[in-house]
Structure 1
Amino acid sequence: MTAAARLAALDALPAEELCNHAEQALAALVDVMNQETTLLRAGHLRQAGQLTPDKTRLAQDYVGFARSIQRQAARLTVEAPQSMERLRAGHESLATQMAENLRVLATAKTVTEDVLTDVARMVGQQNRARAYGTAGTVTADPNASAKGIAINRAL
C-alpha cells in the first residue's frame, strides 16, 4: 500500500473510529513517556533507553492520526464533537508530559556529563607525572589529562 493510499484510508475512517484510534495512540504515548520519565528520575538510564523504540513508534502513529484529524477537522467536529474535545484535552496532557520528560532528560544529560567530566579529571590527575620544576614546585603536564574517556552527548 502506498503512502497516499494509507492517508486516504485514514481520512476515510468513520469519525468516531478515527478519533478512537488517535485517542488510543495518544494514551499509549503519554504512558510510555511517563514510564521513561519515572525511570530517568530513578536513575535507570538503560531501562529508560529501552523504551525509545516504543516511544518512537507510538509518536509516529499519533502524528499520523493527528495529521488525518487536522485534514478532516471540519467533518470530525460535526460528526464527533465530544471525541474531538477529548482529543484536545488529551493533546494538552501530552504537551505537559513532553515538557516534563524533556526537563528530566536534560537533567539526566547534565548529571551524566558532570559525572563523566569529574571522572576524566580525576583519572587525569592520577596519571600526571609528579616532578619538581625549576622553581621547586610540582609541575603539572597539561598533556597528561585522561586519555580514552569520551562523553557521549547524544543522551
Structure 2
Amino acid sequence: MMNAAAERLAALDSLPAAELCGLAMETLENLVVVLNQETTLLRAGRAKDAGQLTAEKTRLAQDYMGFARSVQRQSARLRAEAPALVDALLGGHDRLATQMAENLRVIATARSVTEELLTDVAKAISAKARPKTYGANGEIAGQPPQAASGVSINRAL
C-alpha cells in the first residue's frame, strides 16, 4: 500500500508529457515573476512590502521543485514525447537561475545596508552616553554602568 506522498509522486510522474512540462513551466514563470517583484521592491527600499511575497515565493519554489524532480525522473520519456517542451523548460530554468542570482545579490545588499545603518545608530547612541567630563586624575571619566543598550541586530535575514 502506497503512502500519500508516494501516490502524489506516482500521479505526477504519470502525467502526459505536455501536461507535466506545462505545469512545470507555468510554476517556473510565476516564480520568476514573484522573484522579480521582490527584487524590485528591495531595490526601492520597500523591504516590508517585499516580505509579504515570502509565503507565495516559498510555495511556488516548493511546487517548482516537485515538478522539476518529476521532470528529471521522467526525462527519457519526456524527451521522446515532447522534446520542444523540455527544451523550453530548460530555457526557463536558466532564466530562473539568473533571476535567483539577481534576487540573492539584492537581498545581500539590503541586508548589508541595514546592518551598517543599525551599527551606525548603535555607535551614535553609545557615543552620546559617554561622559564628557574630566575625573579627579585629569582624564576623561570612564564609561558609566550600562543600564541597557537600545539596539540589537538580528543577523538571521
**TM-score, normalised to structure 2's length?**
0.93
Unaligned runs of 5+ residues in structure 1 are none
CA distance in 2, matches of 1:123, 1:115: 12
**Shift of residue 69 of structure 1?**
0.2
Which residue of structure 2 aligns with residue 64 of structure 1? Answer: 66
Residue 28 of structure 2 contacts residue 96 of structure 2 at CA under 8 Å; is this kept in 1? yes
CA distance in 1, matches of 2:121, 2:58: 32
**Shift of residue 104 of structure 1?**
0.4
The AA in structure 1 aligned to 2:31 is L
Q: Which moved more, 1:134-143 or 1:78-87?
A: 134-143
Which residue of structure 1 aligns with residue 118 of structure 2? Answer: 116
**Shift of residue 127 of structure 1?**
1.6
Which residue of structure 1 aligns with residue 45 of structure 2? Answer: 43
Q: In 2 relative to 1, CA 150–68 (structure 1 residues): closer, same or farther, beyond 3 Å?
A: same
Residue 127 of structure 1 contacts residue 145 of structure 1 at CA under 8 Å; is this kept in 2? no
Superposed, 1:100-139 pairs within 5 Å as 100-134=102-136, 136-139=138-141
Q: Which deviations, in whole Å up to 9, do the C-alpha atoms of 1:50-108 show, x marking residues without a partner?
A: 11100000000000000000000000001010100000000000000010001000000
Superposed, 1:65-80 pairs within 5 Å as 65-80=67-82
Moved over 4 A (4+): 142-146
CA distance in 2, matches of 1:23, 1:126: 56
**Shift of residue 128 of structure 1?**
1.8
Unaligned runs of 5+ residues in structure 2 are none
CA distance in 1, matches of 2:80, 2:139: 83
Which residue of structure 2 aligns with residue 30 of structure 1? Answer: 32
Which residue of structure 1 aligns with residue 12 of structure 2? Answer: 10
SS of the equivalent of 1:87 reads helix
Count of aligned positions: 155
